[in-house]
Amino acid sequence: MNKQTLTILGATGTIGVNTLDVIARHPDRFEVFALTGATQAEKMFQQCLEFSPRYAVMTQESAARALQDKLVSTACKTVVLDGEQALIDVATSPEVTTVMAAIVGAAGLPATLAAAKVGKRILLANKETLVVSGQLFMDAVRESGAELFPIDSEHSAIHQSLPAGFGGDLDGAGVKNIWLTASGGPFRTWTMAQMEKVTPEQAVAHPNWVMGKKISVDSASMMNKGLEVIEARWLFNASTEKIRVLVHPQSIIHSMVEYRDGSVMAQLGTPDMRTPIAYALGFPERIEAGVSPLNLIGSQLEFETPDMLRFPCLRLAFDALNVDGYAPAVLNAANEVAVDMFLNRGCGFTDIPRAISHALEHLPSSSPRELEDLLEADRHARARTREFLASSVSV
C-alpha cells in the first residue's frame, strides 16, 4: 500500500484537528508533509511534536516566530515558514499527494486553486473556493486530472449517494433532485423579533455540530446552507432547479439524491466530521474514523421547509447563484465581514443579511475572466460592507 502524503491547509481549525485524528489511526496509510495555520502557535507546536511534519506554515509572521522559538528546544526538525506564498508551495510540492483544504474564508483560495492546477487529490472543506471561483476551480480540476472530494457532510453525502463513477451528468444518471439537509441551527424556531437580539454566544452554540465560530454563525443564519447550494452547483454540475434544501433538525440524514424512478438515496450517520474526512481519505476503501455508531432506536426524523423570510441569507445565496458572475464572490465577502463584525459585537445578527443585500446591489458591470478579477471584487465588497455596517448598525 502506497502512503498518502498530506498537506493540511488549516491544521489548527476544527476540520484540521479532525483530519489529524483520523490520520493518527492509520500511520501505515498517511504521513504529514506540511501543516498550516494562521495565529495559533501553541496549537501548531503541539501538532508538530506529534506528527513531525517537514514544514509548518503560519500565515502571520509573529506566529511563525513564536512557533520557531518553541521548536528550537525540541528534537522536532520541522521547518517553519510564513506567508501566503508558503501556503502555495506546500500545497503544490511534488512530494504531496493529498491536500486537505480547510482554511476558513477566501484566504484559502489561492493555495487550493494552485493544488488543483497541479493535479492533487483535494479534500475540499473550504467553501469559498467554489463559492468565489467555481468555474475557474472546476476548469483547473478537469484540465489537470485532479481528484476532488467534498468534506462538507452534505456534499459528501451526495457524493456517496450518486452512482459510482458519476461524471457530472445528473440527467444521464437519472437524478431528479439533490436535497441538501439543514439542521436549522439554534434559531430554527425563533421569531424575527427574537433574532434581532441574538448574541454571539447564542449564535455559536450549535445544537448538533462542533464547529468553528464563523461556520457556526453561518449555520445559525442559514448562510452556511446557502454557500453549500452554490458549492453543489459546481461539484455536481447541477442547475439551480435541481438543488433543494430541507430542514432536518436531528442532523442524522446528511443529504439525499432523488432519482427519476422514485428512489431516494440518503447517507445517514452520527453528526461527526470525521466520517466525511475518513471517506475522502480512504476512498475507494472505507477506513476507521473513530466515530460513534448511529443508533436509530427511539429516534425521530423530522423535516421542514426552510423559512426564507426568517432566514434571508439562504434566499440571497440562491439569488447570487442565479446572477452568477461576481455575485457569489461578493455575497461571500460581505458575509465574512458581517459575521466577523457580529462576533466582535460591531453589528447585530440581523444586520448580516442586510449587509449582504446591500453588497449585492453594487456588483461590477463586467464579467470575471481570472482569479484576480474575483479577488478585486472581493476586496471592494469587503470595504463597502464595512462602511455600510459602520454607518447603519442595530447593536
Q: Is 176 part of any domain?
A: no
- Residue 106's SS3 state is helix
Indicate the number of domains in the chain: 1
**Which pLDDT does position 1 carry in this prediction?**
58
Q: Is 136 part of any domain?
A: yes
Q: Is 99 part of any domain?
A: yes
Q: Is 145 part of any domain?
A: yes
**Which pLDDT does position 324 carry in this prediction?**
85
**Which pLDDT does position 209 carry in this prediction?**
63
Burial call 351-367: b when 16+ CB within 10 Å, e when fewer: bbbbbbbbbbeebbeee
> In the chain, at which residue ranges do the beta strands (DSSP E only) sit?
4-9, 30-37, 55-58, 79-82, 98-101, 121-124, 147-150, 175-182, 243-247, 253-259, 264-268
Q: What is the extent of the structural domain holding 103?
A: 4-150
**Which pLDDT does position 276 carry in this prediction?**
97
Q: Is 39 part of any domain?
A: yes
Q: How many C-beta atoms surround the C-beta of residue 207 within 10 A?
A: 14
Q: Is 171 part of any domain?
A: no
Pairwise CA distance, residues 308 & 285, whole Å: 39
Pairwise CA distance, residues 248 & 334, whole Å: 27
Q: What is the DSSP string of 81-94?
A: EESHHHHHHHHH-T
The domain spanning residue 84 has which CATH number? 3.40.50.720
Q: Mind listing the pLDDT tens digit of every residue in the chain (395 residues)?
A: 579 999 999 999 999 999 999 999 999 999 999 999 999 999 999 999 999 999 999 999 999 999 999 999 898 999 999 999 999 999 999 999 999 999 987 788 899 999 999 999 999 998 888 998 899 999 999 999 999 999 999 999 999 999 988 989 999 999 999 999 999 889 999 999 999 999 999 998 877 666 778 888 999 999 999 999 999 999 999 999 999 999 999 989 999 999 999 999 999 999 899 999 999 999 999 999 999 999 999 888 999 999 999 999 999 999 999 998 999 999 999 999 999 999 999 999 999 999 999 999 999 888 888 888 998 999 999 999 999 999 886 55
Longest dimension (CA), the chain: 64
- Nearest 5°: phi and psi at 104? -80, 135
Q: Is 243 part of any domain?
A: no
**Which pLDDT does position 208 carry in this prediction?**
67
CA 194 to chain centre: 28
Q: Is 33 part of any domain?
A: yes
